[in-house]
Amino acid sequence: MQDKLFSLPVVTQISPYLTQRQIGELPAIVVSHPKVRAAITLQGAHLIAWQPSGEKPVLWLSDKSLFAPGKAIRGGVPICWPWFGPAGEPAHGFARVQPWKLTAHDENEDGVMLTLVLESNPQTLKLWPHEFTLIARFRLGQHCEIELEAYGDFEATAALHSYFTVSDINGVEVSGLGNSYIDKVNNGEVASSDGKQRYPGRIDRIFTAAEDCSVINDTAGERQIEVYHHHHSDVVTWNPGVELSCSMTDMANEGYKTMVCVETARISKPLRSAGEKPARLATTFRLKKKAAASDNVNG
């Protein structure tokens, strides 16, 4: 799926490294730069691919995902806003299924920077009675930085719902998650942890005292993915496990084996925007080769 994104016909050449293409029924901005390949759909300002030069794809994207107006994309980095989970309809908020506008772009020898904007409109006001301006900034190169900035007068919950590609979920451990979590699989029970998470089955946990960096140790893939959390109150980790994966129409039956979600979030402490003071949520992804990171793992 990832390779197909970069061989789609070009609709518009925006700049030397940026093109607009069509993925299914959705327009997307595709980045082809000496340092990085990436793609963002205008629906949802949804980053669906990020791949530094010389590396395998970092973000997981379902082969069965629908690319249709109003339908959520399974994989990449959905922007969940202004609510997380089933707090309203649609689930995880409307930002990920609304059309955004590309308002600015820049590029240099290290990568590209994109700014996309979503503003309140009659459709969003029916779902959520607040006027707002939501800005998503992407800095894409050897590292990936995503910043969400919300203007208006309101409270909102949110998450940068990042799906990462792993070789085999049975060999994955995520560290830096803190010692307390809400177990959504077990009726919201509050439980304690050693800060590390493995995935023997379905896992859906909100860690409420996570460190500022989570590390995905992909043993079989021989690499680590560092996920830095900025302006967050929580970190969510999720894998659907075999039964839920088989029941999802936009995920292959064995899709759960090659993905893990580690999400920067504001759930237990909502974002607060007021006047000219915006609320922010941001994340940074960095790759580390396993061999170079072994001292950190064992230390």
CA distances 39 to 36, 46, 85, 198, Å, are 10, 8, 25, 29
- Residue range 70-74: average pLDDT? 96
Q: Which of 33, 46, 92, 161 is catalytic?
A: 161
Give percent of the chain above pLDDT 90: 91
CA distance 210 to 88: 26
Assess whether pLDDT exceeds 70 at residue 296.
no
Active site residue 161: yes
Active site residue 263: yes
Q: What is the pLDDT of residue 220?
A: 85
- Residue range 273-283: average pLDDT? 95
Q: Are 92 and 83 in contact (CB under 8 A)?
A: yes
Q: Which of 145, 147, 149, 263 is catalytic?
A: 263
pLDDT band at 290 (very low <50, low <70, confident <90, very high): low
Residues in the chain: 299
For 79, the token pair is 């922007």
Q: What is the pLDDT of residue 295?
A: 46
For 24, the token pair is 């299914």
Residues 6+ apart with CB under 8 A from 114: 18, 29, 40, 102, 104, 105, 137, 138, 140
Give percent of the chain above pLDDT 70: 96
pLDDT band at 281 (very low <50, low <70, confident <90, very high): very high
pLDDT band at 297 (very low <50, low <70, confident <90, very high): very low
Assess whether pLDDT exceeds 50 at residue 48.
yes
Q: What is the pLDDT of residue 299?
A: 40
Residue pLDDT, tens place only, 172-230: 999 999 999 999 999 999 999 999 999 999 999 999 999 999 999 998 888 999 999 99
Lowest mean pLDDT among 42-46, 87-91, 254-258: 87-91
Q: What is the pLDDT of residue 203?
A: 98
- Residue range 222-244: average pLDDT? 97
Assess whether pLDDT exceeds 60 at residue 294.
no
Residue pLDDT, tens place only, 96-154: 999 999 999 999 999 999 999 999 999 999 999 999 999 999 999 999 999 999 999 99
Residues 6+ apart with CB under 8 A from 250: 62, 64, 65, 66, 74
Q: What are phi and psi of 294, to 5 degrees?
A: -60, -35
